[in-house]
Homo-oligomer: A and B are copies of this chain.
Amino acid sequence: MYRSHTCGELRLHHDGTQVTLAGWVQTVRKFGAITFVDLRDRYGITQLLFAEELNPELDQSPLGREFVLQATGVVRERTSKNGNIPTGDIEILVQSFKVLNKSAVPPFTIQDDTDGGDDLRMKYRYLDLRRNAVKRNLELRYAVNRATRNYLHEQGFMDIETPFLIKSTPEGARDFVVPSRMNPGEFYALPQSPQTFKQLLMVSGYDRYYQIVKCFRDEDLRADRQPEFTQIDCEMAFVEQEDILNMFEGLVKHVFKTVKNIDYTEKVERTTWEEAMWTYGNDKPDIRFGMKLANLKVPGHVFMEKQASLQASPLAGGPSGFVVFDNAETVIAIAVPGAAEYTRKQIDELTDWVKRPQIGMQGLVNIKYNSDGSLKSSVDKFFNEEQLRAIATYTNAQPGDLILVLAGAEERTRKATSELRLEMGKRLGLRKPDEFKLLWVLDFPLFEYDEEGNRWVARHHPFTSPKPTQIETMIGNDPKIHDAARYLEHPYANIKANAYDMVLNGNEIGGGSIRIFQRELQEKMFAALGMSKEEAMHKFGFLLGAFEYGAPPHGGIAFGFDRLCSILGGSESIRDFIAFPKNNSGRDVMLDAPASIDDKQFDELQIKLDLK
Seen from chain A, the residues whose Cβ lies within 8 Å of a Cβ on chain B are: 1-3, 22-25, 40-42, 66-68, 100-104, 106, 124-127, 129-130, 135, 138-139, 141-142, 145-146, 149, 153, 158-168, 170, 174-190, 197, 200-201, 203-207, 214, 216, 218, 220-221, 227-228, 230, 238-240, 243, 517-518, 541-542, 545-553, 578-580, 582, 585-588, 590-598, 601-602, 604-612
Asked if B185 and A1 sit within 8 Å, CB to CB, the answer is no
23 example contacts (A-B, Cβ-Cβ < 8 A) are as follows A2-B238, A41-B207, A101-B551, A104-B549, A125-B200, A126-B203, A139-B158, A142-B158, A162-B579, A165-B227, A166-B591, A168-B595, A168-B601, A174-B604, A176-B178, A180-B586, A183-B586, A186-B593, A186-B595, A189-B597, A200-B580, A201-B579, A607-B607
* Chain B: CB-nearest residue to A600: B170
Distance (Å) between the CB of A174 and the closest chain B CB? 7
* Chain B: CB-nearest residue to A218: B181
Q: Cβ of A158: which chain B residues have Cβ within 8 Å of it?
A: 138-139, 142
Partner of A101, one of B177, B227, B517, B610: B517
Q: Cβ of A25: which chain B residues have Cβ within 8 Å of it?
A: 550
* Chain B: CB-nearest residue to A64: B550
**Considering the chains assembled together, what is the distance between the CA atoms of A170 and B146 in angstroms?**
34
Q: Cβ of A595: which chain B residues have Cβ within 8 Å of it?
A: 167-168, 186-187
Distance (Å) between the CB of A587 and the closest chain B CB? 7
Q: Lowest 7 CB-CB distances: which A-B pairs, in order?
A: A167-B593, A103-B550, A129-B204, A186-B594, A2-B238, A66-B550, A180-B594
* Chain B: CB-nearest residue to A165: B228
Partner of A103, one of B149, B201, B549, B588: B549
**Considering the chains assembled together, what is the distance between the CA atoms of A67 and B551 in angstroms?**
8
Give the number of copies in the complex. Answer: 2
Asked if A187 and B596 sit within 8 Å, CB to CB, the answer is yes
**Considering the chains assembled together, what is the distance between the CA atoms of A1 and B142 in angstroms?**
32
Q: Is the interface of A mostly helix, strand, loop or mixed?
A: loop
Distance (Å) between the CB of A265 and the closest chain B CB? 23
Asked if A68 and B552 sit within 8 Å, CB to CB, the answer is yes
Query: Known: A518-B101, A588-B163. Is A606-B597 also a contact (CB below 8 A)?
Result: no
Asked if B178 and A220 sit within 8 Å, CB to CB, the answer is no
Asked if A101 and B552 sit within 8 Å, CB to CB, the answer is yes
* Chain B: CB-nearest residue to A142: B158
**Considering the chains assembled together, what is the distance between the CA atoms of A418 and B167 in angstroms?**
42
Asked if A67 and B601 sit within 8 Å, CB to CB, the answer is no
**Considering the chains assembled together, what is the distance between the CA atoms of A126 and B125 in angstroms?**
42
**19 extra interchain contacts, Cβ-Cβ under 8 A, other than A182-B218, A187-B594?**
A40-B205, A41-B207, A129-B200, A129-B204, A138-B158, A138-B206, A146-B153, A162-B580, A163-B582, A164-B164, A165-B216, A165-B228, A167-B595, A168-B595, A170-B598, A182-B585, A185-B609, A608-B608, A608-B610
Q: Cβ of A200: which chain B residues have Cβ within 8 Å of it?
A: 125-126, 129, 580
Asked if A606 and B602 sit within 8 Å, CB to CB, the answer is no
Q: Cβ of A186: which chain B residues have Cβ within 8 Å of it?
A: 593-596
Query: Known: A167-B594, A167-B595, A228-B164. Is A587-B187 also a contact (CB below 8 A)?
Result: no
Asked if B542 and A166 sit within 8 Å, CB to CB, the answer is no
Asked if B601 and A610 sit within 8 Å, CB to CB, the answer is no
Q: Cβ of A607: which chain B residues have Cβ within 8 Å of it?
A: 607-610
Q: Cβ of A126: which chain B residues have Cβ within 8 Å of it?
A: 200-201, 203-204, 542, 546, 549
Q: Cβ of A130: which chain B residues have Cβ within 8 Å of it?
A: 204-205
